[in-house]
């Protein structure tokens, strides 16, 4: 091999090691684009830095608690992001529980760990804006809003357990590359949650019927197609 070929192979290995590290970090809730630059610069040495940086436990960044509400109220957690599916999930919950229902809705959105620490891209502000818009949709019902940090699946699961949720509603996105690489939050919740999970599909906003029970009711999973 010529010197150029050796250099090209070494560069490819260097970059591949760095990219493998940021993929590993992304799956654990660290998704800041700056890590991509660091992958190019530090290559395999980024793994040593990542080992010290990685957080494993989701955490609460900010909470706006609901006012006093009856202790026997039904508690529903709705995962909120910028997708149409998540807002369709919220509307599905509002259809299931009318304004006369004794219900507390927990609206939760998740940012990555890096945004929770140094919010140079304004992601926390965007998260608060998402929750504010969702809260306006809910109307006069009792609402708690929370910004969480970490991997979306474990963060929402931990939040639901902390609130003793009776139901979790979440949008199910498509099956694109990001879902294949990072995993589906809805599928993760359906597998791990000990409580019912309402999964709202991409076309739910166009559907006029109520959510139906999924094929595997023993998993406490509900889907709105």
- The pLDDT score that the predictor gives to residue 6 is 77
Give the confidence band of 223 by pLDDT, cuts at 50, 70, 90: low
Q: Taking 90 as the threshold, does the pLDDT of residue 2 lie above it?
A: no
Q: Do the beta carbons of residue 141 and residue 58 sit within 8 Å?
A: no
Give the model's pLDDT for residue 174. Answer: 59
Tell me which of 6-10, 68-72, 105-109 is least confident: 68-72
How confident is the model at residue 100, as a pLDDT? 81
- Burial 127-163, CB ≥16 within 10 A → b, else e: bbebbeebbeebeebbbbbbbbbbbbbbbbbbbbeeb
Q: What architecture does CATH give domain 74-200? A: 3-Layer(aba) Sandwich (3.40)
User: Which part of the chain has CATH 3.40.50.620?
Assistant: 74-200
**Distances from the Cα of 134 to the Cα of 54, 58, 117, angstroms:** 31, 22, 24
pLDDT reported for residue 162:
94
Q: To which H or E segment does residue 18 belong? A: helix 3-26
* Confidence tier at 93 by pLDDT (50, 70, 90): very high
pTM flag (> 0.75): no
CA distances from residue 18 to 40, 137, 180 in whole angstroms, order as listed: 6, 43, 20
What gap in Å lies between CA 104 and CA 88, rounded to an integer? 18
Q: What is the strand order of the sheet 59-64 is part of?
A: 59-64, 142-149, 103-111, 74-79, 167-171, 197-200, 221-224, 212-213
Mean pLDDT of the chain: 79
pLDDT of the residue at 147: 95
More confident residue, 14 or 158: 158
Among 27-36, 100-109, 174-183, the range scoring the smallest mean pLDDT is: 174-183
Question: What integer pLDDT is reported at residue 183 of this predicted model?
Answer: 52
**CA–CA separation, 225 and 217 (whole Å):** 15
- Lookup: tokens for 118: 């140094």
Which range of 14-28, 42-56, 120-134, 166-180 scores highest in mean pLDDT? It is 120-134
- Judged against a pLDDT cut of 90, whether residue 53 lies above it is answered with no
In the 8-state DSSP scheme, what is residue 218? Answer: G
The region, left, alpha or beta by phi > 0 then psi within -120 to 50, assigned to residue 8 is alpha
Give the span between the Cα atoms of 64 and 194, in whole angstroms: 25
Q: Report phi then psi at 223, rounded to 5.
A: -125, 145
pLDDT confidence of residue 124 = 86
Q: Of 22-31, 35-44, 129-138, where does mean pLDDT reach its minimum?
A: 22-31
**pLDDT tens digit string along 165-192?**
999 999 987 555 444 444 588 888 988 9
């Amino acid at each position: 091999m010529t010197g150029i070929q050796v250099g090209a192979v070494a560069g490819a290995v260097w970059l591949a090691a760095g990219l493998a590290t940021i993929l590993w970090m992304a799956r654990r809730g660290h998704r800041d684009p700056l890590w991509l630059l660091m992958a190019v610069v530090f290559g395999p040495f980024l793994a040593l830095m990542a080992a010290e940086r990685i957080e494993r436990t989701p955490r609460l960044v900010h909470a706006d608690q609901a006012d006093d509400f009856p202790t026997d109220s039904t508690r529903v957690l709705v995962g909120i992001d910028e997708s149409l599916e998540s807002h369709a999930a919220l509307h599905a919950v509002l259809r299931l529980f009318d304004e006369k229902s004794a219900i507390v809705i927990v609206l939760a959105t998740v940012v990555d760990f890096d945004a929770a620490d140094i919010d140079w891209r304004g992601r926390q502000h965007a998260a608060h804006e998402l929750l504010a818009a969702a809260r306006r949709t809910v109307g006069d019902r009792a609402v708690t809003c929370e910004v969480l940090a970490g991997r979306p699946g474990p963060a929402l699961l931990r939040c639901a357990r902390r609130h003793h949720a009776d139901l979790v509603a979440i949008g199910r996105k498509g099956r694109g590359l990001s879902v294949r690489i990072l995993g589906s939050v809805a599928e993760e919740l359906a597998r791990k949650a000990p409580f019912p999970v309402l999964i709202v599909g991409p076309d739910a906003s166009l559907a006029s019927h109520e959510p139906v029970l999924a094929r595997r009711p023993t998993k406490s999973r509900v889907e709105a197609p």
